[in-house]
Structure 1
């Protein structure tokens, strides 16, 4: 094989490697738009459209520049997916997996129904810290747990599942949704006693009143010293 043929063959091999690399970067790089949309196509039970991309000009506290993709679903809910350029190992101890706030947007649209279900004569507070939206229920005694258990059960059932059962909520999905919760607090000490997540994945069974009361009573005894 002469030198010219070797050069041509080498060029073809290099070109193939470049194409393969670009393909994997577009489809399997967690911070790419194509990767994000492939995950959304798999997990969301509604249609949506891409709106625009925002690339941070300054690095965050970890020294990386997040890329945020904005979307809108068929019901007009605006939501976003924040992605992080990969560094180190992808695990729960550092940024890496795309983070989607679609469930928070869905929860916000149903917030009045959740609040109505929680009304029981004991103080409740709606909190949105910019990352997660939740209701805080305040209790001042162990006896009040039996009062709030049925209202929490009712409130948790106000939201219908909106994620496909393909989403397992495990790290293997390499995609995270912020799951809304109802938080129970000690009214005088201002700390969390217990939390209950909305089960928004198809096939998940909602919390029962008995499960809620059992958890409340166990958590109260562990976390509250009267």
Structure 2
């Protein structure tokens, strides 16, 4: 299991609760870690689901391409978030998954996770917690990122990204990705981000974005 002792998501990730014994050792040995560059894909929509993934560092976007070519981002996932759970049902992946900036992802074969869950009630409960977290994420996108003004949607997204990254430092998605997630045009997303920067709500240091404490809360309504 790659560098798990020092992993910042160790207490909440998919592999939390691995005990001792042959089954746990087998699940642990099957975990791999992979560093991704900007826009590099982890999985493709329709591809056979063979592995389940955990974001260890950075942000991953899940997106769906419609028959007319329109791309809609359905979720942004930060450290500790799990994706590819459909592999546990022997189903193909439902989305394209790609890196937003520099990302590290850990993965495990779905077969190893199912064997572990079949013999360990804690492992089964852990998988169910992550299923629920995925449902909660989908609810958040529908409830908070698909309603309200452009300022409200962008603010909620930025606050969400900052909340799930160590120290509140995050890599902002491209303006096109913001538009695809929030149901806005690229131009509207760009103008809103520029306004937040002018107002001091948002600052950039060494390629990372930070929200200014006490600023922008009026846009969370």
TM-score range, shorter chain: under 0.3
Provide the TM-score with structure 1 as the length reference.
0.23
**Relative contact order: is structure 1 or structure 2 higher (C-alpha 8 Å, sep ≥ 6)?**
2
Provide the TM-score with structure 2 as the length reference.
0.23
Whose radius of gyration is greater, 1 or 2?
1
